[in-house]
Amino acid sequence: MQEVQVELTSRHKMYDEWQEDTHQYLGCCTQKGSDWYLTYKEQIEGAGEVNTVWKFSQQSISLLRQGAIQTKQRFQKGETDRTTYHSPHGIFSMEINVYKMKRNDENERPSVIQISYQLWLNEQYAGDHEISLQISWQ
């Protein structure tokens, strides 16, 4: 397990206007077989601490969040993922339609992850979303 710096940029577009947030985290990254796991803790306003685990596989990327927010999402280009999102504000059914996904490696380790998808909450369109993870190895 190796310590890494993580910069997470999330963008959300609703009604032709983009909103962007960037957060910095100190995390750990480790390889198991051909998969990579990135872990860090988030402090989410109004929700508290959330343990976050990303799994980077050859064909898909998974996100597991546990704590005040609980969800498991699977991102795979051209696929739809249906799951639930538990938060202090309630439980929501969530559907993700991934239309773009890219992973860049440096020295055979993940360095940049980009995911673009449409999000549906409780069967209502909740906008286009983009996630960009920049992983800096120590």
- Per-residue model confidence (pLDDT) at position 45: 81
Would you state the pLDDT for residue 47?
78
**Cα–chain-centroid distance for residue 72?**
10
Full pLDDT tens readout for the chain, 138 residues: 899 999 999 999 978 889 999 999 999 999 999 999 999 999 888 778 999 999 999 889 999 999 989 999 999 999 999 999 998 889 999 999 999 999 999 999 999 999 999 999 999 999 999 999 999 997
3-state DSSP of 25-59: EEEEEEEECCEEEEEEEEEECCCEEEEEEEEECCC
Q: What pLDDT shows up at residue 129? A: 96
What is d(CA 106, CA 112) in angstroms, rounded to the nearest whole number?
Answer: 9
